[in-house]
Amino acid sequence: MKNGIINFGIICLLLCSIFVKAQKPIYLDVNQPIEKRIENALSLMTLEEKVQMCHAQSKFSSKGVPRLGIPEVWTDDGPHGIREEVFWDKWSGAGWTNDSCTAFPALTCLAASFNPQMALIYGKAIGEEARYRNKTVLLGPGVNIYRTPLNGRNFEYMGEDPYLSSRMVVPYIQGVQQNGVAVCVKHFALNNQEENRMSINVKVSDRALREIYLPAFKAAVEEGKAWSIMGSYNQFRGEHCCHNDLLLNKILKTEWKFDGVVISDWGGVHNTDQSANNGLDLEMGTSTNGLTTNGTSSYSEYYLADPFLKGLKSGKYNEQLLNDKVSRILRLIFRTTMSADRPFGKFVSPEHSEAALKIAEEGIVLLKNEKQFFPIPVGKYQKIAVIGENATRSLVIGGGSSSLKVAYEVSPLQGLIKKYGKDHIIYSQGYISGKSEYGKEFSSDANVDSLINSAVEIARNADVVLFIGGLNKNHFQDAEGSDRKTLDLPFGQNKLISALLNVNKNVAVILCSGNAVSMPWINKIPAIVQNWYLGSEAGNAITNVLSGDINPSGKLPFSFPKKLDDNAALSFGQLSYPGDGTNEEYKEGILVGYRWFDTKKIAPLFAFGHGLSYTSFEYSKPVTNKTKYGKEESVKLIFSIKNIGKVKGAEVAQIYISDNKSTVIRPLKELKAFKKMNIEANQSRQVEISLPVKEWGFFNDKTQNWEVESGKYTILIGSSSADIRQRVSVQVN
């Protein structure tokens, strides 16, 4: 009898195991296609569980379905490093001891590298850090166009040219997502200023929208296969962009066939009807202004929470709307947290430091270098004066949501001392920026004249002076939530530079910023370097370039105007920027950045694509495979670049297209290709580039189609938009 009971028990266990195996939910089976897993998971969820997935449960997370083993979605601010952990219902740091990250260079620096391989390295490294911290979504990269040099968040973006941004964002996305972490490309769309960012209604032509402001987002979706996108705060044609029917339903999801999640910017949702119907999938940060408001908010009162649930139950909203939102969120989860192929990640590794250093070195731009001021080899000078607050100030802190808590940060002064020796470096602060709070900036109590006098005395007796200044991430500088008030350097730096020049003509200016600045002293300064915000390896990167260990190869991703009125957006008055408080009209249309300077024949201070080297390059006459092309063909362009100097260097060949005669307004030229090449001294390298003719067109507002007109086109090859070395004409039929 005893044996019989045992045998019966064994049989029961076997039957139970078979039953459980047979009933295993398909959504848990990683061998099943994702779409089948989504369908299965939806069939098992209640209406309430579905709705709960569509809105936040904390400052940075949204609910899963614990009953079914579906995990939460955890987001984290980027795109330059993984933000510290914060409290559940507060923006303040939670005080963890293991969340200090690697700071990578700001995206202006990445864009300045003109090297998509650097973007892939960047994405892979930051994706590994996000994965190690178990994040589902990295809130970046940003690809909004540099429209005005006053925009406080320009440092987070990739410059003024849609083609450059498109080529750089795709490998960044691929690098991040290979780690099982979703990017969230932002801010979609037309978020080109911080002033009145929560409400300003942007008016822009369809042509400018398609040619300038959407291409990088389109590339991110169609080529990069981005798994999520963030809506922007502003309005477009009367609807907020976080629930904008034209942008989200018609363009993003229907035309571009985006299958990922649309996530609101924090505090960017304004009503239930539009958020339910107009393409939003996941609502975050409602009841906050997106940045500063602390404390508990009732997540069940979000627009896509109880009000949405009530509307679904009453029949006001079709459940298919909900199912589409939840399907997209499930798809993201199955691609990330519930993917069997998800790697483990790395955090603050030597490889990440190496990546940060290499990206920084490739992005630093040598703007001016008279009489070979740079490089400064070790031993050339006995006394090097280093002047300026940015030589020692942390530039990874501040700036809004991109502020970081880092494992380490090498300052420029530390890098210079390490390279040249402490006996040869003398430092003086020279100026002081004062405290900054959200929306406010305070003057310092320090004696400004005393700071200047001390710096002047050090400069007077130095062999060479390195002034390290620029902007910082205080409000009204490079910072989220506020635009700059002027193109000038802040904190009395122009006065300080003039005082230094009075006692020493051997002064170089090294600018840390994500924006252009005016330079009233430019004709008196022999050398200028654009240094960006370089992250953890900032000091090592700039020192390697200044000393000549690294030959600079960065190129400007945006134009520097001589004065504010030279900028297209600002040249049309208040309605064009910053708007009248309600509306803003992009009156410059397609003529943004170098397109404006070229077409209107306005000389910039420094042109788009400009960047010097410690060597020189010579371009050969180009040839094409033929002279006449159909609109579906590609031009095969071949030419050579020779390094005619004495040191190895890298050059970025920039290929522009000019429509010689058009029936519509066209820019004088537009960037259509670029290639960065390392070339040994006295050596040549051949460049072969394919130029699809169909990409030379313009967007016709009337027909709502891209059109390439027949006629002659000139292919221009240059070292910058203002330094065209060769050209060749072709006929398009």
**pLDDT tens profile 522-537:** 999 999 999 999 999 9
Task: Give the residue-averaged pLDDT of 395-399.
Answer: 93
Give residue 26's pLDDT band: very low, low, confident or very high (50, 70, 90): very high
Q: What angle do CA 295, 299, 304 make, to 5 degrees?
A: 140
Distances from the Cα of 630 to the Cα of 634, 709, 727, 731, angstroms: 8, 11, 20, 9
pLDDT of 228 > 70? The answer is yes
pLDDT given at position 293? 83
Task: Give the residue-averaged pLDDT of 274-293.
Answer: 92
pLDDT of 9 > 80? The answer is no
pLDDT given at position 10? 52
pLDDT given at position 104? 98
Give me the chain's average pLDDT, please: 95
Give residue 24's pLDDT band: very low, low, confident or very high (50, 70, 90): confident
pLDDT given at position 699? 98
pLDDT given at position 7? 55
- Asked if residues 27 and 38 have their Cβ atoms less than 8 Å apart, the reply is yes
pLDDT given at position 438? 73
CATH 2.60.40.10 residue window(s) in the chain: 617-732
- Asked if residues 528 and 519 have their Cβ atoms less than 8 Å apart, the reply is yes
Task: Give the residue-averaged pLDDT of 99-122.
Answer: 98
- Asked if residues 721 and 608 have their Cβ atoms less than 8 Å apart, the reply is yes
**pLDDT tens profile 152-174:** 999 999 999 999 999 999 999 99
**pLDDT tens profile 672-720:** 999 999 999 999 999 999 999 999 999 999 999 999 999 999 999 999 9
Fold of 617-732: Immunoglobulin-like (2.60.40)
pLDDT of 22 > 60? The answer is no
From 12-16, 196-200, 475-479, the region with the lowest mean pLDDT? 12-16
CATH code: domain 31-56+119-335 is: 3.20.20.300
**pLDDT tens profile 318-377:** 999 999 999 999 999 999 999 999 999 999 999 999 999 999 999 999 999 999 999 999
Measure the CA–CA gap between 181 and 95, rounded to whole angstroms.
24
* pTM attached to this predicted model: 0.95
Q: DSSP alpha helices (H): ranges in 470-593?
A: 493-503, 538-547, 568-571
pLDDT given at position 714? 98
Q: Name the catalytic one among 77, 161, 265, 483.
A: 265
pLDDT of 13 > 50? The answer is no
Task: Give the residue-averaged pLDDT of 258-262.
Answer: 98
**pLDDT tens profile 363-393:** 999 999 999 999 999 999 999 999 999 999 9
Measure the CA–CA gap between 446 and 577, rounded to whole angstroms.
35
pLDDT of 117 > 90? The answer is yes
**Peptide bond preceding 71: is omega within 30 degrees of 0, i.e. cis?**
no
Cβ neighbours of residue 65 under 8 Å, at least 6 residues apart?
41, 45, 49, 52, 53
- Asked if residues 594 and 559 have their Cβ atoms less than 8 Å apart, the reply is yes
Name residue 74's beta-bridge partners: 61
Measure the CA–CA gap between 431 and 691, rounded to whole angstroms.
49
Active site residue 259: no
Task: Give the residue-averaged pLDDT of 419-442.
Answer: 89
CATH 3.20.20.300 residue window(s) in the chain: 31-56+119-335
pLDDT given at position 94? 95
